[in-house]
Amino acid sequence: MSARILIVDDEPNIISSFSDLLKDEGYRVRGASTIAEAGQLLRKNVFDLVLLDLNFPKSSGIELLQEITGEPNAPAVLVISGQSEVAVAIEALKLGATDYLEKPVDPNRLTSTVRNIVNWHSARRQQQQMTEEVEDRSKLLGDSSAMKSLRSLIDSAAPHDATILITGENGTGKELVATRLFLHSSRREKPFIKVNCPGIPATLFESELFGHKKGAFTGAVKDYPGKFRLADGGTILLDEIGDLPRECQAKLLRALETGEIETVGAEESEVVDVRVICATNRNLEESVKRGEFREDLYYRISVISIDVPPLRDRASDIPFLAEAFLHHFDPTGETTFAPEAMAAISQYEFPGNVRQLRNLVERVTIFHRGTKVGLHQLGTTSLTDGNDHTDGSNNRHDLSLSERTNRYERQLIASTLRQCENNISQAARKLKVDRANLSRKIKDYSLKSDEQ
């Protein structure tokens, strides 16, 4: 779709000539002869670019510029000024204008400048949209104290360039943590390169990470920059670094310590500026003791360590996560969980963590879309495939509906009390129940609170 341009000038002949010129270039053009008229058009329409004159009889184009740049998804602004207004035009650039041209404007220069700004603005909007989509996909959901602490630690560590080691079981969301670190860093506008360490053969490790020159080895038919050079200025995620062969660890350590990479087949090393984040589901301290992982590399990559808790340690987040995934897979809201189904889900410990819960909800929306999903639709095999963990002699799938519901209710009340530091009044507001009723349930379930 062609770009939309608004020309704001108090001279009708300029609006007319600019409009004809830009329409011939394929743009959709509107004109406004006053600041007030321009403001109305901007409020009712979406424009990609505003050509803005600065000199109006009773007002200044600077006022409109300030209004434009203060809005989200604001259009780019190209200031058109007279020679006597150059100082004001420079001030306009400081306020957010993209560029300025002096009157009289050469037609060729106008069209080329507009073309460059439109292309830049389009690329910028696409980047913003992609970033927003990535941020939405990388949200760390949950209101438990464990998740609040995790988000706080991430936000504290993100602005710094220190190397970070993310640990946690499979399915806990280590890649989401790495993405949040990247998005909250000063490098968020730069590349974010992800490397799956187990997927790289040891013989190709140097080539894959540090690049190679054409003819460096059999099969090197052209130059390849390598992951570190691709990430220059940005961030690289070395996923499952605990599975990296020991013979590759020394080569990686040298690059991390010196900031230099040696391209295979090149005569000289090259300096790169890369923030390194590593992730693993292994206990690297134990791997160091067994001689499987270099101790010096371990200390180099774990300047800051972030451990992602398993889902069983934040069980109070399960209902919230389940509802969020349900909305993701069925935005219509027609698919819901019956209370007994949600109770069963909330009582399960999910050895596969958040990934397993997400897969379960996706499966439900595929086979039971548009229904209220009960225990029968949920299916006993969905939650009890040989991974049951109980604190009593009876398996959870042997419990009655009322027993499952009671277990879920007790767990929810207990976790809410912990979040509210055992304040019953605050917990009652959070759960949207009567305080007296909540106090009775706390007593029935033998829970403790500071107000008892």
Per-residue pLDDT of 140-197, as tens digits, reads 888 899 999 999 999 999 999 999 999 999 999 999 999 999 999 999 889 999 999 9
Domain count, the chain: 3
| Beta strands at 260-261 and 270-271: parallel, antiparallel or unpaired | antiparallel
pLDDT for res 309: 95
- Measured CA distances, 314 to 25, 257, 310, 326, 347 (Å): 58, 37, 7, 19, 12
For residue 420, the number of C-alpha atoms closer than 13 Å in the C-beta half-sphere is: 20
Does 291 share its domain with 329? no
> Do 63 and 202 lie in a common domain?
no
Q: Is 70 left (phi over 0), alpha (psi -120 to 50) or beta?
A: alpha
* Same domain (yes/no): 290, 319: no
Question: What's the CATH number where 212 sits?
Answer: 3.40.50.300
Q: In Å, what is the CA distance from 380 to each residue of 149, 248, 376, 389, 410?
A: 34, 45, 8, 15, 22
HSE-CB at 404 with a 13 A cutoff on CA atoms is: 20
* pLDDT tens sequence across 49-89: 999 998 888 777 888 888 887 676 789 999 887 766 677 77
CA distances from 402 to 65, 247, 263, 308 (A): 64, 57, 65, 33
How far is 422 from 448, CA to CA, in rounded Å?
Answer: 7
Domain containing 366 — which CATH number?
1.10.8.60
User: What pLDDT score does 156 carry?
Assistant: 95
Is residue 138 a part of any domain in this protein? no
Closest CA to 187 of 126, 232, 123: 232
The pLDDT of residue 393 is 36
CATH number at residue 19: 3.40.50.2300
- 274 lies in some domain: yes
Above 60 in pLDDT, residue 132?
no
pLDDT of 447 above 90: no
* Residue 137 resides in a domain: no
Angstrom distance (rounded) from CA 362 to CA 356: 10
Q: pLDDT grade, residue 394 (50/70/90)? A: very low
Asked if residue 324 lies in contact with residue 141, where contact means CB atoms within 8 angstroms, the answer is yes
Which range marks the domain in which residue 103 is found? 4-129
Same domain, 286 and 188: yes
Q: How high is the mean pLDDT of the chain?
A: 85
157 shares its domain with 121? no
319-331 pLDDT, tens per residue?
Answer: 989 998 998 889 8
Between residues 385 and 183, the one the model is more confident about = 183
Please list, in sequence order, all residues whose beta carbon lies within 8 angstroms of the beta carbon of residue 423, skipping any fewer than 6 positions away.
417, 449, 450, 451
Q: Are residues 283 and 331 in the same domain?
A: no
pLDDT, residue 130, reads 57
- Clarify whether residues 326 and 365 are in a common domain: yes
- What is the pLDDT at residue 134? 52
pLDDT at 100: 86
Decide if 440 is inside a domain: no
pTM value is 0.60
Whether residues 319 and 301 share a domain: the answer is: no
Q: How confident is the model at residue 380 (pLDDT cuts 50, 70, 90)?
A: very low
| Radius of gyration in angstroms for the set of CA atoms belonging to the chain, rounded to a whole number | 30
The answer to whether the beta carbons of residues 181 and 157 sit under 8 Å apart is: yes
CA distance 327 to 333: 6
150 and 292 belong to one structural domain: yes
Lowest mean pLDDT, pick from 227-231, 298-302, 336-340, 409-413: 409-413
Q: Are residues 56 and 115 in the same domain?
A: yes
Residues 44 and 117 in one domain: yes
Does residue 18 sit in the same domain as residue 153? no
